[in-house]
Amino acid sequence: MKFIIITLIGLFAFAFAHGQDSRLAGRVTDTIGNRVVGARVTLEGVGMQAGPPIKVVLTDTTGAFSFVGLPRGNYQLVVHKRGYADWQTTVSLTGDTDGFTVVLEGKVHLLDEVLVVDNHVERRKQEESLNLEVVGKDFVYRNLGGSLMKSLERLPGVQTIGIGSGQSKPLIRGLGFNRVVVVDRGIKHEGQQWGSDHGLELDQFAVGEVEIIKGAASFVYGSDAIGGAIDVKPEALPAPHTRAVSVDLVGRSNNHSYGTSVRIGGRSDKWFVDSRLTYLRYGDYRVPADTVYVYDYAVPLQGQRLRNTAGRETDVHFTAGYLAERFNSILYVNNIDNKAGFFANAHGLEPRRVDVELHDKSVRDILLPSQQVNHFKAISKNALHLGAHHIEAELGFQRNFRQEHSPYVNHGYMPSSLPDTLGVPTTLEREFDKQVYALNVKDYVELGKHQLTFGLNGERQHNRIGGWTFLVPSFAQSTVGVFAYDRYRLTDRLLLHGAVRFDHGSLRMHEYRDWFPSDVPEGGQAYLVRAADLHRRFNSLVWSIGMNYEPFENLSLKANIGKSFRMPIAKELSANGVNYHYFSYERGNPSLAAEQSYQADLAVEWNTDGWQIQVSPFYNYFPNYIYLNPTAAFDHFYGAGNQVFEYAESRVMRYGGEVQVSRRLGRSLKAEVLGEYLFSQQLSGTKKGFSLPFAPPPSLLMGLSWSPERPGSPFIELDYRLVAAQDRIVPPEKKTAGCGVMALRAGGTARVAGMPVHLNVQVQNLLDTKYMDHTSFYRLIELPEMGRNIVLSLRIPVISKQNE
Amino acid sequence: MRIIIAFGAMALALSCSKDAETVDTEYPVIDGNFAGAFPQQCGTVRRGETFVFRAKFSDNVALGSFSLDVHDNFDHHSHSTEVEACDMGPVKEAEAPFKYIKSFDIPGAPKTYEAEVAIAVPADVDPGDYHFLMRVTDREGWQTLRGLSIKIE
């Protein structure tokens, strides 16, 4: 650049030396010397010869341009090319000038970083009366856990049920399973949410933004959104006229994990294609213990590693679409494939004998027992602007195919070895095959101060089962729901919300009969019917009202009260089988009504010089919470001698909330305290006075972060999370002691070869503390949580450039 | 702000009143050191004979019921819940394994109970390694289980 300026000054010095008809020729390149083709070069007279542009040329395929027949004098030279910063200078032409060099600086458009610089998150929060947290890709990267939900766990009110080191499922204020809806690219994610050892099949590298809605969200999301919803938005689309390749690399020390995610995409003005491939492998994870105890039986661990908790994940995404001002249509196709082992020394609560030598040969092999899940999705997302209407429609198909593998073990009345005639592989314990078709249509209409939304959701499910054990029958399910939602801006400071929704659902269960005979009360043996043909229909009317109010500057208030519902699931209605891993005989209740919930939410946020305080309490009441109640009885016919667990309904009250306080200390330092508290109690039924299962204990997170305003936005964050003991338990849980866990995060962006490379380093469980997580899948067999884990991640834009 | 304080006070009041109501969160106990307990870990019973299962159960409030399950472990599929490991015979295929599954009520919801069940082992069952699994619940549904490795000779 300096060279050019000096050249220009030099040229200037000769400004008036010569006569007429000179030539100006040169080349346009980018910062790394590549020719820029098709740039518009404009030459304008300045000073005495001011006037309209006298000449415009485009650079040729070599990036060259030339003007001939120019009178000597001063000119203004402007070079314009889409995607680059405009370049201009003054040229004093005193004679033929060749070899004029123009270097254009690219506007940096990393595909995964098209940061729409607006305050849409703030606005979204201000216009939503429910409690809402929104996090972006950066938050996910900074807190990168083994799975998406683990990465979000820092947020107050969000907890997870971790299944080993690579899988987890969400809990919002202690509610999870089928009481939280996960939406991926506009369509409800349907896996096997009911199972405590079933994780969520989402690729956290392909996530753009995540919205966590706490509270009664059924009026938008339909059945199941009782605890709230997690709306996972796709990555930002490529900017117009760009193409890019970016590579993410991640490594974790604790479970010897490594992985990569590669994105390749590009866009013309209106059409785009985008793709991503993610591959992750992890070994057995390490806990800070040499021996763990399954009941009283000591299980020595080699190298403190939990035998057979290794896994792998391969995700493929393909996206293509058309984006215009009035209409856009995007097709998302992706496939998530997961395989992970279960801790080999126990399967559920059952202590297992293992071939230690075989298992300890490698920390990476995935032996039995294990689970394998393949989740395929094809979603077409469309939007149309028509006058005052904005119409969105999503059509989706997904298939969740899940297999659980274990050596055949004869429990109860099962024969000692699996007969060949059954046609089931000896290691196929369970298989679930779910196929779901879904359609959503929404119409947003602006009518004066009213912002109306009308919506329709329809879903059709087919569920088939396989394997040599039985938990839930095959079933088909159809649901349809319609809703209307009005957002009314009464004044600048007051926004009112009202919504109403009607749903109809139909569930058709198919008969399942044991493949082996059992002793029956009438004497002798028979093939027991575990689930009978059953058809149930449900209707539900839910509503929600709320407001956003800003009484003063810096203070905002939110209030919402709403009713949510959930259709009973097949297991709750029709289970009649033995879960041998939990020594439980689970008996469904075919007459259960749809679960209903009323919730009141409040949020107060106060922002003033350096302080940010947010308090969000809630109160929730269920007239009929559906609960798997462990009874005092055993059943030696249908239950093969196991404890009877019965699905029952009870009145339940829950309340609690989150407190978030942060304070800026100087320009770069910030301290914050995040607290969460939850109390739940059953008000009726045989467990009156008891809590609900998976109740997260109160916790307090204290964080200190340092992020100076320097190029590359470096940061260092230190977290200390204090978790109280959980003594409020229900059978078959165990009391969990309190603990304190520390985490350290640091990162920033460095320019390497002109490209911004993002680096994040994390140390989870910094002090290698031995503790148990009350909501972890392995809590019941008393396995401690993961020890110290150093996570290193890099985001590298390999190519990021304008189309020619 | 007043709303928060009011809510906080209410929450506090509610949580205090709830703490007064205590619920039973204790598991029942199977007494492993009970003098007459039978069978014992790594113990032996004989084919063609009847043995008497004896155990002592206790709970802080009230016992519910118990269940017994005897099944073969010829494939060494799992181990017992006990500290002590036993010598196991070779892995083998089952032909006529002994199987016993039965559950029993504990009458009167007592705090302690001595269980006694006569179990006949037929003469023609496969000898070898077996599991003896006992499970006891209390009235609230807390379940304690104990798995023993035994041999049938």
pLDDT, tens only, A466-479: 999 998 899 999 99
Chain A residues close to B146, C-beta within 8 Å = 295
Bridge partner list, A434: A400, A463
B96 → chain A, closest CA residue? A416
| CB-CB neighbors (< 8 A) of A729 in chain B | 25
CB within 8 Å: B141 and A629: yes
Domain boundaries, chain B: 26-152
Q: What is the dihedral of CA A568, A571, A574, A580, to 10 degrees?
A: -160
Least confident piece of the model among A74-78, A470-474, A761-765: A74-78
- Set of chain A residues whose Cβ sits within 8 Å of the Cβ of B86: none
Q: Say if residue A109's pLDDT is above 50.
A: no
A573-582, A694-703, A720-729: the lowest-pLDDT one: A573-582
8 A C-beta contact, residue A322 and residue A271? yes
Read off the pLDDT of residues A500-533 as tens digits, 9 standing for 90 and up.
Answer: 999 999 999 999 999 999 988 888 899 999 999 9
Measured CA to CA, the distance from residue A632 to residue B105 in angstroms comes to: 9
pLDDT bracket for residue A801 (50, 70, 90):
low
**Which residues on chain A are in Cβ contact (under 8 Å) with B18?**
679, 681
Name the closest residue on chain B to residue A352, using Cα atoms: B78
The nearest alpha carbon in chain B to A518 belongs to B101
- Give the pLDDT band (50/70/90) at residue A32: low
- Does residue A351 have a pLDDT over 90? no
Q: How far is B138 from chain A (nearest CA, A)?
A: 6
CB contact under 8 A, B140 and A632: yes
Asked if the model's pLDDT at residue A292 lies above 70, the reply is yes
What is the model's pLDDT at position A50? 44
Classify domain B26-152 at the CATH class level: mainly beta
pLDDT value, residue A534: 94
Q: What percent of chain A has pLDDT over 90?
A: 62
Instruction: Provide the b/e sequence for B107-125 (b: ≥16 CB within 10 Å).
Output: eebeeebebeeebebeeeb
Lowest mean pLDDT among A43-57, A290-304, A335-349, A370-384: A43-57
Contact A630 B64 (CB under 8 A): no
Residue A359 has φ and ψ, to the nearest 5°, of -70, -35
Provide the pLDDT confidence category of residue A15 given band limits of 50, 70 and 90: very low
Q: Judge contact between B89 and B128, C-beta under 8 A.
A: yes
Which chain A residues contact residue B1 at CB under 8 A? 604
ipTM here: 0.86
A575-591 pLDDT, tens digit each: 888 888 788 899 999 99
Question: Residue A312: what pLDDT?
Answer: 96
Q: What pLDDT score does A122 carry?
A: 77
Cα angle at A210 between A452 and A672, to 5 degrees? 110
Higher pLDDT, A727 or A347: A727
CATH of segment(s) A234-802: 2.40.170.20
Of A412, A583, A639, the CB nearest to B143: A583
Long-range contacts of A46-51 (CB under 8 A, 24+ apart): A46/A74, A46/A75, A46/A76, A46/A90, A47/A73, A47/A74, A48/A73, A48/A74, A49/A73, A49/A74
Rounded CA separation A644/A633 (Å): 6
- With CB atoms and an 8 Å threshold, state whether B145 touches A641: no
The more confidently predicted of residues B135 and A800 is B135
Residue A802: per-residue pLDDT: 64
Helix (H) or strand (E) holding B84: none
Per-residue pLDDT band at A725 (split at 50, 70, 90): very high
Tokens 């964080």 -> residue: A703
Task: Decide the pairing of beta strands A242-252 and A789-802.
Answer: antiparallel
Contact A383, A391 (CB under 8 A): yes
Q: Each residue of A483-509: pLDDT tens digit?
A: 999 999 999 899 999 999 999 999 999
Mutation choice for A interface testing from B31, B57, B67, B70 by most A CBs within 10 A: B67
Question: What pLDDT is attached to residue A441?
Answer: 97
Predicted local confidence at residue A101, as pLDDT:
84
- d(CA B49, nearest CA chain A) in Å: 22
The edge-to-edge listing of strands for the beta sheet with A175-176 is A158-163, A167-172, A175-176
Least confident of A130-139, A276-285, A308-317, A669-678: A130-139
Residue A185 has pLDDT above 60, yes or no: yes
A600-614 mean pLDDT: 92
A411 CB neighbours in chain B (<8 A) are 71
Calpha distance B132→A514 (Å, rounded)? 24
The neighbouring-strand residues paired with A458 are: A439, A480
Q: What is the pLDDT of residues B85-133, one digit of tens each?
A: 888 888 888 889 999 999 999 999 999 999 999 999 999 999 999 999 9
pLDDT at B3: 47
Residue A49: what pLDDT? 46
Mean pLDDT of A738-767: 92
SS3 A574: helix
Residues 49-78 (B) with a CB less than 8 A from some CB of A:
64-69, 71-72, 74-78
Integer distance in angstroms from the first to the last C-alpha of chain B? 76
Residue A107: pLDDT over 60:
no
| A297/B25 Cβ within 8 A | no
Average pLDDT of span A586-610: 93
Question: pLDDT value at position A110?
Answer: 39
Q: Which of B23, B75, B99 sits opposite A690 (nearest CB)?
A: B23
What residue spans define the domains of chain A? 2-104, 234-802
- pLDDT classification of A42: cutoffs 50, 70, 90: confident
CB-nearest partner of B64 from A583, A633, A657? A633
Whether A377 contacts A395, CB under 8 Å = no
Taking contacts as CB-CB distances below 8 angstroms, the residues of chain B near A727 are 25
Nearest Cα to Cα of residue A511 among A528, A529, A537:
A529
Q: Which residues contact A63 (CB under 8 A, 6 or more apart)?
A: A27, A28, A29, A35, A36, A37, A39
Which residue's structure tokens are 């599954």?
B101
Chain segment A773-796, per-residue pLDDT in tens: 999 988 888 889 999 999 999 999
Contacts of residue A231, defined as CB under 8 A and 6 or more positions apart, other chains included, come to A183, A210, A211, A212, A213
pLDDT at position A52, please? 54
Residues B34/B54, Cβ–Cβ less than 8 Å: yes
Count A/B contacts: CB-CB distance under 8 Å.
Answer: 137
Q: What is the pTM of this model?
A: 0.83
- The CATH superfamily label for domain A2-104 reads Immunoglobulins (2.60.40.10)
